[in-house]
Structure 1
Amino acid sequence: MGSIHDWKPELYDQKLGFVSDYGKDVLRLLQPQPGEMILDLGCGTGDLSFEIQNSGARVLGMDYSPAMIEQGRRKYPSLDFIVGNAADFSLDQSMDAVFSNAALHWIKDAEAVAACVWRALRPGGRFVAEFGGRGNVDTIIQSTCKVLSEHYGIDGEQRNPWFFPSIGEYSSLLEAQGFRVTYAVHFDRPTPLEDGENGLFHWLSGLGADEFFQDLSDTNRARAFQQICNAARAKLYQDNVWFADYKRIRVVAFK
C-alpha cells in the first residue's frame, strides 16, 4: 500500500504464505471480539481478514493493490474488501480496531498513515500492527544494491521502497498523533523461504519491490535476481533452505 507494486497474488499465496501464517501470532494481540468492527489495513489476499471474521467480528479488508483485492474477493466472497491507500483514506463509520500485518513498511509517509488510522478509530479504539523494523532484510537489501550498482549502474539505495523504523521512532510517531502506546517490541525473526534453492528468487519475484528493478528487462531482471541470490548465499542459505533476515516491530496503541 502507498504505491502500486507489481503484486502477483497467486505467487504470493503459493510461495509467501508464511506472511499470513506469522500474522496469526499478531491476532493474539488484537484479540478480536464478536460484534466488533475491524479494519484489516493492507489485507493482501484476505487470509487474516478471514481469521478475524471467524472470531465473530465484522471485518473490512483494505489494500492498495487491485489484484490482491480481486484475489481476496474470489477466496472469501463473504468478506467486504475495498481498494484504498493507507496514507490517504477515510471511512463512513468508526472502527473498534485497526489491524495491519506486513504492510506498513511499504508506506514511507508513516505520519499520514497514523493520522488516517486515528480518524478511523472510535475513542478508545486500538491499533495493532506488525511490520518490518530497523535492520529488516538488511542482507537482501545490501546484496540488491551491490548487484544493481556493479552490474547495472543503478543506485539501489535511492530506489529502496521500504520504511523500516526503530521502535523509538515509531512509538514517538504514534504518540505525536495522540496514541497511547501500550506495547511495542522489536525482534529478530529469521524466516525460512519455501521452495528450497529457489526460495530467495521467488521472494524477490513475488514481493513487489519493483522500484529496485523498474528499468530492467524481464531477462535482466531474472539475471539480477540470480546475482542477488549469489551475493546473499553465504549469509542466508543454509542446509538447502533460504532464510530472509527479518526484523519485526509489533505495536499496540489506543486512541
Structure 2
Amino acid sequence: MTWNPEQYSLFTDHRLRPAIDLLSQVPLHAPSVIYDLGCGTGNVTAILSQHWNEAVVIGIDNSEDMLAKAKRDHPSIEWKTGDIADFAPTSKGNLIFSNAALHWLDDHEKLFPKLLKQLRPGGIMAVQMPNNFSAPSHETLYDIAQSAEWIDRLGSLVRPAPVHNINWYFDLLSPLVEKINIWETTYFQVLNGKDAVLEWTRGTALRPFLAALDGDDVDAFESQYAERLLEAYPVRRDGSTLYPFSRLFIVVQLPEG
C-alpha cells in the first residue's frame, strides 16, 4: 500500500490546522533536537523548523513517495525513512511531535511508553490523532467492506478503532509523566467540490481498501461508497459539504531529572 502525496495534499489547510493547534500547546522555548514522526510531505516539519530555527529537526516517515515530496519542497530539513514502531534514535529528543500518524499503529499501550523513552529529561511528546472512526464516513466504509459482495477481499482490512478514549490515555500516561494536557476537538470542516468527503477519504481511510482492488472493482466500490456518503453528508445550498471531524490531542512532559 502506497501513499499519494498529491491526493493527501488536496485538503492541506484542514490537515494543517490541528497540527498548529497542537503546536500552540507545546511549552518548549529552545529545544535542540526535534523528531516529527509520520511527517508525510513535510509541511508540519517545516513549521516546526521555522518555529524553532536553532533546533535540529528530523522528519521520519515510512513512505518513500511522501519523503520524496518533502525533500523537494523542504531541502534544508533532514529526512529519514523509518517505521514509528521501530523508532529508537541514537540521540534522544527534546520534542517528539506526531500529527495524524499514530492511529495507523496498534498496541498503543506499548507504543506510547516506548516513545516516551526516546525523550531527554524534561522532554515533551505532542500527539494528534484522528478520532473519527465512529463517524458515517468510516462506519459506511467498514459496512460496505463487510458486505457479502466485498467481504472476501476487504473484510480483513476492517480493524477495531485504533484510538482509545481520553480516560484511557490519561490513565496510561499520567503515571509516566510530570505534566499532561489532553483534549478532543471536533472541526466542522467546510469542503468544496463534487464528492468532497470521498475525496478526503481517498487520501486517508479509503486508501488501503482501494489498494486491495483492481480495475473495475475500484470504480464499483467507490461508487457504492460515494452514494452512501452523499446521504450522510448532503451538499449544502451553496455547494459545499459540512464534514465534522474529531481529533484527539495529547501533550505530555517528562520530569526534568
TM range (shorter): 0.7 to 0.9
Distance 2:128 2:155 in 1: 24
Q: Which residue of 1 aligns with 2:19?
A: 23
Distance 1:154 1:214 in 2: 15
Distance 2:71 2:115 in 1: 23
- The answer on 1:38 being equivalent to 2:34 is yes
Contact conserved, 2:34 with 2:93, CA < 8 A, in 1? yes
- The answer on 1:138 being equivalent to 2:144 is no
Q: CA RMSD in A?
A: 2.4
Distance 2:116 2:11 in 1: 34
Distance 2:208 2:4 in 1: 15
User: What amino acid is aligned across from residue 173 of structure 1 in structure 2?
Assistant: L
Instruction: Give deviations 1:205-236, integer Å, cap 9, x for gaps.
Output: 22264443444223222322222121122332
SS in 2 for 1:6: coil
Instruction: Give deviations 1:109-131, integer Å, cap 9, x for gaps.
Output: 21343133212100110111111
Q: Which residue of 1 aligns with 2:203?
A: 206
Q: Go from structure 1 to structure 2 and tell me whether the alpha carbon gap of 1:252 and 1:22 turns closer, same or farther (over 3 Å shift).
A: closer
Q: Which residue of 2 aligns with 1:53?
A: 49
Q: Go from structure 1 to structure 2 and tell me whether the alpha carbon gap of 1:45 and 1:101 turns closer, same or farther (over 3 Å shift).
A: same
Please give the TM-score of this superposition, normalised by the length of structure 2: 0.85
User: What amino acid is aligned across from residue 8 of structure 2 in structure 1?
Assistant: Y
Q: Which residue of 1 aligns with 2:95?
A: 97
Q: Which residue of 2 aligns with 1:186?
A: 184
User: What amino acid is aligned across from residue 5 of structure 2 in structure 1?
Assistant: P
Residue segments in structure 2 that go unaligned for 5+ positions in a row = none
Residue-pair matches, total: 248
SS in 1 for 2:117: helix
SS in 2 for 1:196: coil
Contact conserved, 2:195 with 2:230, CA < 8 A, in 1? no
Offset of residue 105 of structure 1: 1.0
Offset of residue 187 of structure 1: 2.6
Contact conserved, 1:186 with 1:249, CA < 8 A, in 2? yes
Offset of residue 198 of structure 1: 3.1
Please give the TM-score of this superposition, normalised by the length of structure 1: 0.86
SS in 1 for 2:225: helix
Percent identity (aligned)? 23
- The answer on 1:79 being equivalent to 2:111 is no
SS in 2 for 1:152: coil
Q: Which residue of 1 aligns with 2:6?
A: 10
Q: Which residue of 1 aligns with 2:120?
A: 122
Residue segments in structure 1 that go unaligned for 5+ positions in a row = none
Distance 2:214 2:130 in 1: 29
Distance 1:137 1:72 in 2: 31
